[in-house]
Amino acid sequence: MHFSRGLIASMAVILPTLALPTSSTQSKFQPAADAVPGESSLFVNYAGKKPPIASKWMKAIPATGSGPAGPDDLLFQNLLSAEWIIYSLYQQAVDTFSPSDFTKLGLPNNTYQRIAEIRDNEAGHLRIFQDQISTGSIKPGPCKYDFGLNNSASAFLALQVYIEVSSMAFLTGLSLQAEANISKSALMAIGQVETRHNVWALLDVYNTDPFSGPSDTIYPYANQILDTTNAFIVPGSCPAENPMYPAPRQGLPLINIIGNSTTAQPGSDIKFVFESSDNQPKFENGKDYYAVFYHGLNTVSVSYNPKKNSVKIPKQFDSEVGIIMVSIADEVDAPTEGSVIAGPLIILEQPGMLTLKEPYVY
């Protein structure tokens, strides 16, 4: 597409008619108990260590109405439980670290401020999802979370990228479950915010290509991605009244790959590890299995022999940007949720898998 100088000039003329913030329209300070996402700077650029939301929102909130559950209540309950994990990761980072923990790593001096802003956005998501659940249903509260970071700022930054791409993928997948049209749009709008968080990290933290090619990756079974985040929940720490997370939950065996044996780029061989000794996939002799790879809008199945346990990442996928997801299924292209028997695993192509350390990054 070509823009003439004249067109650019006329675009510039249009700009002042946009509602740019002025002192009278700028968000006013609202006390945390009443703060509304989209109206309060607490969800935008508040830099304090204290959570930006009032304690009355920081717990499970029982149903108050007797009416029927809203059509998307289950979806938003699952999403709220996931958001507690994401918000808590950032809140722990804001609590634990100081600006110098990041400048010591050679990062820009606004890194801590950006992390606080992302924390604020995630707090806004909590309030948005709480409000999307009807009064006929419980709003799940936070559990205790262990991210295994050992107070390491670089481990936090690696996990941050992983969490953002996970949430981009499960938000895209959740839109397949949404009943109300407005829910679909809300999921898309939130997903775009998570993408901005990821782009910030790729640019300012990892100094790499911020783009992911023409499309981010679609994985059809969002609850399976949500389920993998149960690994961060301290067992038994959730409020007793919380519903199962996610619901429905398959509890599939988690997949990892042996990170030091591969570049994990298209065309390279990978070997899987099923790390939980009490949750191993069950392979039947003589049955066919497939490693089903997802990248962009593409799905590619590769024959998987459990005894050999080595598959090649499809070499037709474009170069090292975005993510590749993989699960193991007993049918080509995993046409149903039930055909998936392990996974999914998210393989980060950026900022480069080998820059990231176990247990999150592969």
Ligand X SMILES: *[C@@H]1O[C@H](CO)[C@@H](O)[C@H](O)[C@H]1NC(C)=O
Q: How far is the CB of 253 from ligand X (least distance, A)?
A: 18
Binding segment for ligand X (CB under 6 A), chosen from 83-91, 142-150, 188-196, 323-331, is 142-150
Distance CA(164)–CA(159), nearest Å, equals: 9
Q: Which is nearer to ligand X, 17 or 150 (CB)?
A: 150
Six-digit token pair at 120? 């604020």
Query: Is residue 155 at the binding interface for ligand X, with CB under 6 A as the rule?
Result: yes
Number of C-beta neighbours around residue 5 at 10 A: 7
Six-digit token pair at 178? 């949404």
Query: Is residue 150 at the binding interface for ligand X, with CB under 6 A as the rule?
Result: yes
Contact with ligand X (CB under 6 A) among 17, 24, 26, 181: 181
Side-chain-facing half-sphere of 269: CA atoms under 13 Å: 6
Q: Which amino acid is at 331?
A: E
CA dihedral 143, 149, 155, 158 (to 10 degrees): -20
Contact with ligand X (CB under 6 A) among 109, 215, 237, 268: 109
Q: Which is nearer to ligand X, 103 or 230 (CB)?
A: 103
Binding segment for ligand X (CB under 6 A), chosen from 132-140, 175-183, 235-243, 346-354, is 175-183
Contacts with 89 (C-beta within 8 Å, 6 or more apart), sequence order: 145, 147, 156, 159, 160, 163, 232
Chain positions 26 to 45 lying near ligand X, rule: CB under 6 A, are none
Query: Is residue 180 at the binding interface for ligand X, with CB under 6 A as the rule?
Result: yes
Query: Is residue 148 at the binding interface for ligand X, with CB under 6 A as the rule?
Result: yes
Q: Which is nearer to ligand X, 249 or 357 (CB)?
A: 357
Q: How far is the CB of 259 from ligand X (least distance, A)?
A: 7
Mark 154-185 as b/e (b = at least 16 C-beta within 10 Å): bbbbbbbbbbbbbbbbbbbbbbebbeeeebbe
Query: Is residue 106 at the binding interface for ligand X, with CB under 6 A as the rule?
Result: no
Chain positions 319 to 348 lying near ligand X, rule: CB under 6 A, are none
DSSP per position, 5-44:
HHHHHHHHHHGGGS----TTTSPPP--GGG--TTT-GGGT
To the nearest 10 degrees (0 to 180), the angle between helices 73-96 and 111-132 is 160
Q: How far is the CB of 100 from ligand X (least distance, A)?
A: 10
Q: Which is nearer to ligand X, 99 or 136 (CB)?
A: 99
Query: Is residue 135 at the binding interface for ligand X, with CB under 6 A as the rule?
Result: no
Q: Which is nearer to ligand X, 32 or 153 (CB)?
A: 153
Phi, psi for 269 (deg, rounded to 5): -85, 140
Binding segment for ligand X (CB under 6 A), chosen from 8-16, 177-185, 289-297, 343-351, is 177-185
Contacts with ligand X, 236-265, as mask; x by CB under 6 A: ------------------------x-----
Q: What residues line the site for ligand X (CB under 6 A)?
A: 109, 148-150, 152, 155, 179-181, 260, 357
